[in-house]
Amino acid sequence: MGNGKTQLACLLLFCLLRHTAGFVFWTAMVEISYVNNQNETTDKYCECGVFGRNSAVERVQGLVTVPKGDPKGCGSNPVYNRNASSPPWIALVKRGNCTFSEKILAAKHQGAAAVVVYNYEGTFNSTTHMSHPETKGIVAIMIGNLQGMEIYKLVQNGTDVNLVIDVGSPHGPWMDAYWLYFLSIAFFIVTTASIAYFVFISANRLYNLRMHRRSERRLKSEAKKAIQRLQVRTLKRGDEETTSDTTVCAICIESYKAGEVVTVLTCDHIFHKTCIEPWLLERRTCPMCKCDILKALGVEEEDKDGIDSNSPPEVTVITVAGGDALYEVPLTDASSPQYYDNRSFEGEPARG
């Protein structure tokens, strides 16, 4: 059971990892290089971009180009200063007015090697994970507004800005350290709960088994007391049981013979004493009519009231069939003591 619970926990965690893997995203290393007004080369490098969900995750470089007129690069045919025959170039467009897919497709159709989208005003350098399912096969990243505006102003002023986009590091729920901690804790909790459940079930079964055995021992002890109260007879020649061919012991299926000792149950059925006593110790009911001798003799109730079972009062049992009292059967006779062949009843201390 414990192994099954552990395997189930592992399967659930595997499914969780499988589904969360779709939320993994890659950061982009962005490097810009240009010559400033002092004729000095300026290089800036940061891990500040995020690859789109449908972007090709690979290295690319080229000169930054912005669309003429609308910086958002929307419309069916935005105009860039370069074309497909030019050296590799990268389109820089602003977020807004149209979908990411429309911006990226427009630049791709005019020969852009990659597309860089910078965020809205007021978002500073925050980014988002773009979704553009119609534009597979081209590199597309997003950068922050401040960085995008800086590059946009340089290009607008006529500065050639060389941009290199490189692959950064993967991020996402199951890649981050806090999520790994969460998964570890969740796995520990599931495993602990499984073990605790297994221990609880095992302890409960052991307890029930112990209680069952204790109940069986108690009932067997009560059955011994009940057997001591039953009437015992020695069959004689001429008795009805010895002369009838149809009257047999229902346990051993043997006919009764003179000199055999039989036990008469409270329901008036008789059996060989050596046959019925082991039966009653285990089942405590008549083999023929299922009469419960413990209930018929009231052994359990008497034992609770503290009455000595070795000195029982004279008991009379009324056998009822169809709701009518038929006859009475005395179970004990003070003038004729009873003797038993079963040694399990000899020398047993009385319990009140």
Examine the domain organization and report whether 284 and 158 are in the same domain: no
**Rounded to whole angstroms, how far apart are CA atoms 195 and 193?**
5
Examine the domain organization and report whether 154 and 37 are in the same domain: yes
Examine the domain organization and report whether 244 and 127 are in the same domain: no
**Rounded to whole angstroms, how far apart are CA atoms 99 and 130?**
10
**Rounded to whole angstroms, how far apart are CA atoms 53 and 172?**
12
Here the tokens at position 15 are 């499914």
- Give per-residue pLDDT as tens, 51-75: 999 999 999 999 999 998 889 998 7
φ, ψ for residue 220 (rounded to 5)?
-65, -40
Instruction: Answer yes or no: is 193 within a domain.
Output: no
Could you tell me the pTM of the whole model? 0.47
Among 305, 314, 250, 303, residue whose Cα is nearest residue 280: 250
Return the pLDDT at 210.
92
Instruction: Answer yes or no: is 85 within a domain.
Output: yes
DSSP strand E in 193-301: where? Answer: 231-234, 261-264, 270-272
Instruction: Answer yes or no: is 268 within a domain.
Output: yes
Instruction: Answer yes or no: is 63 within a domain.
Output: yes
Examine the domain organization and report whether 153 and 263 are in the same domain: no
Return the pLDDT at 304.
44
Q: Residues of the chain whose pLDDT is less than 70?
A: 1-23, 76, 84, 172-179, 300-352
Return the pLDDT at 307.
39
**Rounded to whole angstroms, how far apart are CA atoms 285 and 173?**
67
Dump the DSSP string for 219-234.
HHHHHHHHHHHSEEEE
Examine the domain organization and report whether 149 and 234 are in the same domain: no
Segments forming the whole domain that contains residue 49: 25-171
Instruction: Answer yes or no: is 346 within a domain.
Output: no
Here the tokens at position 260 are 């055999």
**CATH code (residue 315):** 3.30.40.10
Examine the domain organization and report whether 157 and 240 are in the same domain: no
Examine the domain organization and report whether 148 and 67 are in the same domain: yes
Instruction: Tell me the one-letter amino acid at 7.
Output: Q
Instruction: Tell me the one-letter amino acid at 275.
Output: C
Give the domain-ending residue among 128, 147, 171: 171
Helix, strand, coil percentages, rounded to 5, for the chain: 35, 25, 40
Return the pLDDT at 243.
84
**CATH code (residue 68):** 3.50.30.30
φ, ψ for residue 217 (rounded to 5)?
-65, -40
Examine the domain organization and report whether 232 and 317 are in the same domain: yes
Return the pLDDT at 317.
42
Q: Which residues contact 318 (CB under 8 A, 6 or more apart)?
A: 325, 326, 328
Number of separate domains in the chain: 2
Instruction: Answer yes or no: is 3 within a domain.
Output: no
Instruction: Answer yes or no: is 177 within a domain.
Output: no
Return the pLDDT at 321.
42
Examine the domain organization and report whether 249 and 329 are in the same domain: yes
Return the pLDDT at 329.
42
